[in-house]
Amino acid sequence: MRILLTNDDGITSRGLLAAKQALDTVGEVSVIAPDSNRSAVGRGITIDRSLTVTEVELRDGSRGFATDGTPVDCVRFAELGLVGDRPDLIVAGINYGVNLGDDVTYSGTVAAAFEGIVLGIPAIAVSQQSKEAGLHFRRQRNYDFSPAAGILATLARQVAEHGLPNGTILNVNAPPPPVQGVEVARLGRRIYRDRLDVEHDEDGRRRYRIYGDDPSYHDEPDTDFRAIAEGKIAVTPVHLDLTSTGAIEEIARWQLG
């Protein structure tokens, strides 16, 4: 099995290395990742300039590629043959911090996996919560990626055996150990506590911080948020069909000339 590994935290991420080591037991892994942190860039691609690609040595001594593009650019590079043959599986992660519920649309990690749907290649996005980080996204020092790495190897083997349903990726989030089980869950919904914090830069200009520090979530059954809160790994099948099928009829009844 040929596996393409990327992330949004950047080529030097310890989470990327943890994923690499887990996937080395499953197949032949090629790595291409952004040269620095591109978290929360979503499905952005680079169309206004050319991209650099640098061959680098990863911490395990293997070779990988770093680019100044986005996570989605990384997957596109792989499709174009830059890092070897077309992959059988795309993996993005292991991300520092969870990607749950509504947040999947901001996430560069999940975005890279979504590109698998566009290219017709099975894909897994995988994220690890830290004990200290709670539901935040922040990168911290004492990260234990082992729960996410363990489920990643299992899922990669399952995908090798069964494939994935058409147009579907897996969004996987692991709580810190000890893990209480694995649940196939739906995406939940965030509650953001945004606020305007005003700062002044050296030139006296106002600057604003708008994303609050303490996001919460709607505690609903069968959701990824609930699974994580219960100490379980959440595996969520996600597709990219954004059409609101149920709304087509209603909107079609409008007087649109």
Residues found near Mn ion in the complex (CB under 5 A): 8-9, 39, 95
Closer residue to Mn ion (CB): 8 or 103: 8
Closer residue to Mn ion (CB): 131 or 218: 131
What's the closest the beta carbon of residue 16 comes to Mn ion, in angstroms? 10
Closer residue to Mn ion (CB): 8 or 73: 8
The residue whose Cβ lies closest to Mn ion is 39
What's the closest the beta carbon of residue 95 comes to Mn ion, in angstroms? 4
What's the closest the beta carbon of residue 245 comes to Mn ion, in angstroms? 31
What's the closest the beta carbon of residue 214 comes to Mn ion, in angstroms? 19
List beta partners, residue 197: 209
Closer residue to Mn ion (CB): 9 or 79: 9
Closer residue to Mn ion (CB): 92 or 185: 92
What's the closest the beta carbon of residue 93 comes to Mn ion, in angstroms? 8
What's the closest the beta carbon of residue 59 comes to Mn ion, in angstroms? 18
Closer residue to Mn ion (CB): 18 or 204: 18
Burial of 52 (0-12, 13-18, 19+ CB in 10 A): exposed
CB 33 within 8 A of CB 54: no
**Side chain identity, residue 26:** V
**What is the residue-wise DSSP string for the chain?**
-EEEEE-SS-TT-HHHHHHHHHHTTTSEEEEEEESS--TT-TT----SS---EEEEE-TTS-EEEEESS-HHHHHHHHHTTTTSSPPSEEEEEEEES---GGGGGT-HHHHHHHHHHHHT--EEEEEE--TTTTT-----SS---HHHHHHHHHHHHHHHHH---TTEEEEEEEPSSSP--EEE-B---EE-----EEEE-TT--EEEE-S-S--EE---TTBHHHHHHTTPEEEEEEE-----HHHHHHHHTS---
CA 209, 175, 190: angle at the middle one, nearest 5? 40
What's the closest the beta carbon of residue 81 comes to Mn ion, in angstroms? 26
Closer residue to Mn ion (CB): 39 or 171: 39
